Amino acid sequence: MASDKQPEGQERIGVYVCHCGSNIAGVVDVESVARFAADDLKDRGVVLARDYTFMCSVAGQELIEQDIHEQRLTRVVVAACSPHLHEKTFRGVCERSGVNPYLSEMASIREHVAWVHADKAAATAKAKAIVSGTVERVLQNDPLEAIKVPIDAQTLVVGGGIAGIQAALEVAEAGYDVVLVEREASLGGHMAQFDKTFPTLDCAACILTPKMAAAGAHPKIHLYTWSEVEKVEGFVGSYTVTVRKKPRYVDEDICTGCGICVEKCPVLVVDDKFEAGIGYRKAIYWPFAQAVPNLPVLDPDTCTYYVGGKGGAGGGCKACEKFCPTVPNSIKFDQTEERVTLRVGNIILATGWDLFDARRIPQYGYGRLANVFTNLELERMCNAAGPTGGRVVLRDGQNAPKRVGIVHCVGSRDRHYNRHCSAICCMQSLKLAHLVKERTGAEVYNFYIDIRTPGKEYDEFYQRVLDDGVHFVRGKVAEITDVPFDPAEAGREVEGTLYVQVEDTLAGLQRRIPVDMVVLSAGLEPRRDSAAVGKTFGIACSTSGWFIEKHAKMDPIATMTEGVFIAGCAAGPKDIPASVSQGSAAAARVLNYIRQGELALEPVRASVLEAQCSGCRICNGLCPFNAISFVAERQVSEINAALCQGCGTCVAACPAGAIQGTGFSDAQLFAQIEGLLRDVQREPEAA
């Protein structure tokens, strides 16, 4: 072995081979591995090697502690499970015993050997190679200290839906400042659009409005609605955030929210935001009745002042301005966008979801057939404050449907659109079935592939809907058409009947079920701009567009970027209780950081050896976190340790070898390669 750093006799390594019951010992000859380490790796500094049933047990940990004390170990290798499970455990053992925790290493011989190989001899040989590689690596480890950064107590919450509101309230209630940024003109998010919530049938507004009001009035919550985060700089503890406030054309400080301007505005347009396209609003409008803040917003795309009414652009009716009773006038036609710069220590992203565009499935006829609606349209229709005053009617606005088909999984669980299950549509469809039945007495058919009701009291609600007499047809709807198949079918039905063509898979029959109204349970999709938003905040999206958690199971709130957390549907479809829980959980994580005052970061970081740096700046553009900058006066590049996330790309790219990647240095990796290939017989060089 031609390693740069010879142990020179002073390093004393202990190797521990775990049986993990029979998990490892059933396939790998653990005694043989321990003997190999003790005998063959003696010249590499291994002074003792043991095998033990469960290294992670208290007894196993004590074994190491004892050896450190009695055998004066300086480095420790544990051959057991994946470091993702127990690296922290064994680092802790070292730390308690006075050995720098970063002088320990794990060799994964369970996940990467015992569980994936059946041939015992081959598995044992591979385990030995891995142990050998890990011993070489640990010899090259440097003692490290965790990096400490101070945490600014102010928190940014992005998204004012239920998850964001919850997070903001939790942090504010604990006594810390929160900046809550919402893209729309009011807090509330999608939940504000719903009528009732499953499975309890609470009125969505009744349970949401108090939270919106509390967030709006909280002295610690600084609200920026009709605003977007434009730029994020810095790192955990001290982010600098630029918020862009879009012009509302209404002075927030003067306006009293009396609503005369809205009343007097003569321009009526379809509200395809809050009313999901089935209601109208004015050119100056309230986002909705309970909006927080209680301020109207003016839409320059439809206001006659901007699009040009009588007298051309700049003319227009100006009725809002004329009738505004405040002094000075609240209407500000010349308002422009503003930028606000803020300092925050942590960021919670609760940016939510978009509804699948049902027009993408032409055979379902949405947009073509008048009486095909989306779930969101029906939510608005059911809502007493909605465009129909809570009446469920056909597109004609008059007649109630006598037969309604509800189609599940629209745009979900389908390789052509989204492969994921949208998680809430089964329950939403059941709820809508119940509401339609209750309001109209119509025959209701639910067309489903599987009914998924895995929440508290969810299946009980399904039972209740069965009691209501709602029909269930198991089959993914093939098409919805207004064309009768033949004169006989036409004769049976009235003009305008819709036929839901489906295979009733439980009966094994193709059926055409005539209905008056179809409701498409369109699924949840990632926000269309999620990739760009992810880039702004330095977090990653999956190819499907949902944000990626640090760990899907064990750390679903954190992201790969320290100090940036996600809550609610931004990481995938969730129902209201889950979104609320995540909002609280994200707040708890942030409060934890704030209370600590400073944060210890993993010291896996890159750093520049200035003496070797030639100032070529190749590394400068490579860093995804903008951690590398060029210091002009010294003509070298410099890495900000707090910004660096330790990916090592710059280490690999530096032509001078001037960048050191702590924890994954060239020396460590080279040594590990040598150790791993210790057993490989190389052909003698050609004579």
> CA triplet 663, 665, 669: central angle to 5 degrees?
100
| Residue 359 interacts with another protein (CB under 8 A): yes or no | yes
| Residue 122 interacts with another protein (CB under 8 A): yes or no | yes
| Residue 482 interacts with another protein (CB under 8 A): yes or no | yes
Q: Among 63, 174, 449, 588, which residue interacts with another protein (rule: CB under 8 A)?
A: 449
**Chain residues 585-604 in contact with another protein, contact rule CB under 8 A:** 604
| Residue 24 interacts with another protein (CB under 8 A): yes or no | no
Q: How many helices (H) and strands (E) does the chain have?
A: 17, 34
CB nearer to another protein: give 171 or 557. 557
**Chain residues 270-309 in contact with another protein, contact rule CB under 8 A:** 270, 272, 277-280
Q: Phi/psi at 344 (nearest 5 deg)?
A: -135, 155
Q: By rule CB under 8 A, what count of residues binds another protein?
A: 115
CB nearer to another protein: give 36 or 224. 36
| Residue 607 interacts with another protein (CB under 8 A): yes or no | no
Q: How far apart are CA 185 and CA 589, in angstroms?
A: 28
> CA triplet 143, 146, 148: central angle to 5 degrees?
145
**Chain residues 83-102 in contact with another protein, contact rule CB under 8 A:** 83-84
Strand partners, 222: 179
500 to 529: interface string for another protein, x by CB under 8 A: -xxxxx--xxx-------------------
| Residue 478 interacts with another protein (CB under 8 A): yes or no | yes
CB nearer to another protein: give 67 or 271. 271
Q: Phi/psi at 79 (nearest 5 deg)?
A: -95, 105
Cβ 657 to another protein, closest distance in Å? 6
Stretch that binds another protein, among 5-13, 124-132, 150-158, 193-201 (CB under 8 A): 124-132
Q: Among 94, 130, 424, 566, which residue interacts with another protein (rule: CB under 8 A)?
A: 130
Reading the block at residue 491, the tokens are: 């004769």
Q: Which residue has the tokens 């209905």?
A: 515
Cβ 399 to another protein, closest distance in Å? 10
| Residue 370 interacts with another protein (CB under 8 A): yes or no | yes
| Residue 535 interacts with another protein (CB under 8 A): yes or no | yes
| Residue 363 interacts with another protein (CB under 8 A): yes or no | yes
Stretch that binds another protein, among 39-47, 152-160, 314-322, 653-661 (CB under 8 A): 653-661
**Chain residues 380-439 in contact with another protein, contact rule CB under 8 A:** 387-389, 393, 395-398, 413-416
Q: How far apart are CA 537 and CA 233, in angstroms?
A: 9
| Residue 245 interacts with another protein (CB under 8 A): yes or no | no
Strands of 299-402, DSSP E: 338-344, 346-349, 353-355, 372-374
> CA triplet 88, 92, 98: central angle to 5 degrees?
145
Stretch that binds another protein, among 167-175, 248-256, 330-338, 356-364 (CB under 8 A): 356-364
Q: Which one-letter DSSP state was computed for residue 455?
A: S
Residue 676's contacts (CB-CB under 8 Å, 6 or more residues apart) are: 129, 130, 132, 133
Cβ 400 to another protein, closest distance in Å? 12
Reading the block at residue 25, the tokens are: 């010992």
Strand partners, 449: none
Stretch that binds another protein, among 145-153, 186-194, 234-242, 479-487 (CB under 8 A): 479-487
Q: Which residue has the tokens 């107590």?
A: 153
> CA triplet 242, 247, 249: central angle to 5 degrees?
155
Q: How far apart are CA 487 and CA 85, in angstroms?
A: 68
Reading the block at residue 267, the tokens are: 């321009």
The gap between the terminal CA atoms of the chain, to the nearest Å, is 21
Cβ 512 to another protein, closest distance in Å? 9
Q: Among 59, 616, 634, 635, which residue interacts with another protein (rule: CB under 8 A)?
A: 616
| Residue 119 interacts with another protein (CB under 8 A): yes or no | yes
CB nearer to another protein: give 209 or 399. 399
| Residue 6 interacts with another protein (CB under 8 A): yes or no | no
| Residue 495 interacts with another protein (CB under 8 A): yes or no | no
Identify the CA nearest to 169 among candidates 595, 584, 589: 584
Stretch that binds another protein, among 167-175, 195-203, 562-570, 675-683 (CB under 8 A): 675-683
Stretch that binds another protein, among 65-73, 93-101, 199-207, 532-540 (CB under 8 A): 532-540
Contact criterion met (CB below 8 Å) for 233 and 296? no
| Residue 670 interacts with another protein (CB under 8 A): yes or no | yes
Q: Phi/psi at 146 (nearest 5 deg)?
A: -65, 150
Reading the block at residue 538, the tokens are: 């330095």
Q: How far apart are CA 129 and CA 250, in angstroms?
A: 71
CB nearer to another protein: give 54 or 670. 670
